[in-house]
Amino acid sequence: ENGDQTKEPACFSSVIPGWFSEMSPMWPGEAHSLKVEKVLFQGKSDYQDVIVFQSATYGKVLVLDGVIQLTERDECAYQEMITHLPLCSIPNPKKVLVIGGGDGGVLREVARHASVEQIDMCEIDKMVVDVSKQFFPNVAIGFEDPRVNLVIGDGVAFLKNAAEGSYDAVIVDSSDPIGPAKELFEKPFFQSVARALRPGGVVCTQAESLWLHMDIIEDIVSNCREIFKGSVNYAWTSVPTYPRHVSLPLNIQSHGVIGFMLCSTEGPDVDFKNPVNPIDDSSSKSNGPLKFYNAEIHSAAFCLPSFAKKVIESK
């Protein structure tokens, strides 16, 4: 436990020594705290503050600008769902682009698909890649796949220069729309994604929490309906350490959720709710077994609570 409060960044709680509290203008009036056993890395890149700490109950934790990006205990839920919801919805994906995803977890999951021949990644911050390789080897294993081409740069610029119709799938594994990822939630970016996808190509983006961000989700859905003429769907999953809806008393928290926008361009029909392309189990040996994703949870991810269904279907 790092008892010296003076050296620790603001997100390390001064109220409860030895605890990390995740506070953000993205979820005002709430905070999620994890007990810290040891701070393993603190750095500041050209884009964001980067912290890694050993938590008491969630393994090692990666934090960017004070927001939890992944923990060893529950990263499987997010990485597997954001990857297999799109890739299991189309037959034989071959060329995949990952925007963000600097921890390597999405690459690890894309690599399970034997049909994939090329995996391009554009991650803006090399420090995230280096830190993940050092502290999260089971996540960063994705970088070892020979099909991966890593570009360090801004995903917005990368997509602007991408050849038209060149990808079967784009996965936008971004941080929140505050800081370097802001433009990844805006219309021009979605337009450049649609242009880079082949007819019937698919995109899956990190799309916040329906408990906390219906306003952001509304805007994203409106933009996507205008831009993607195939299908537009919102799915969600449970990730305990993602933005959460805290019920009182404070120490009892409904576990966190995270959502995904899944869209396809005009062309061959894509029915996201019924996966057509099961994961090639033989490839899972090198990256360990799937811990979260399966065909049933794939279909269930598109079942929404009424308050969200009403908003999303009205756009």
8 A C-beta contact, residue 120 and residue 151: yes
Element (H, E) at 198: strand 197-206
Return the SS3 of 148. strand
To ligand SAM, the closest distance from the beta carbon of 19 in angstroms equals 21
For ligand SAM, the closer CB: 18 or 151: 151
Distance CA 240, CA 13 (A): 20
Contact flag: residue 70 with ligand SAM (CB under 6 A): yes
To ligand SAM, the closest distance from the beta carbon of 122 in angstroms equals 5
Contact string 165-184 vs ligand SAM (x = CB under 6 A) = --------xxx----xx--x
Distance CA 85, CA 274 (A): 10
Distance CA 154, CA 160 (A): 10
Distance CA 264, CA 229 (A): 7
For ligand SAM, the closer CB: 206 or 231: 206
8 A C-beta contact, residue 59 and residue 71: yes
Contact flag: residue 204 with ligand SAM (CB under 6 A): no
To ligand SAM, the closest distance from the beta carbon of 49 in angstroms equals 11
To ligand SAM, the closest distance from the beta carbon of 257 in angstroms equals 11
Contact flag: residue 275 with ligand SAM (CB under 6 A): no
- According to DSSP, residue 253 is labeled B
Q: List residues with catalytic annotation.
A: 173
The reply to whether omega before 249 is within 30° of 0 (cis) is yes
Q: Residue 225's closest CA among 259, 173, 266?
A: 266
To ligand SAM, the closest distance from the beta carbon of 276 in angstroms equals 26
Of the candidate spans 116-124, 138-146, 277-285, 289-297, the one that interacts with ligand SAM by CB under 6 A turns out to be 116-124
Contact flag: residue 224 with ligand SAM (CB under 6 A): no
Contact flag: residue 261 with ligand SAM (CB under 6 A): no
User: Which positions lie near ligand SAM, rule CB under 6 A?
Assistant: 64, 69-70, 78, 99-103, 122-125, 128, 154-156, 173-175, 180-181, 184, 206, 258
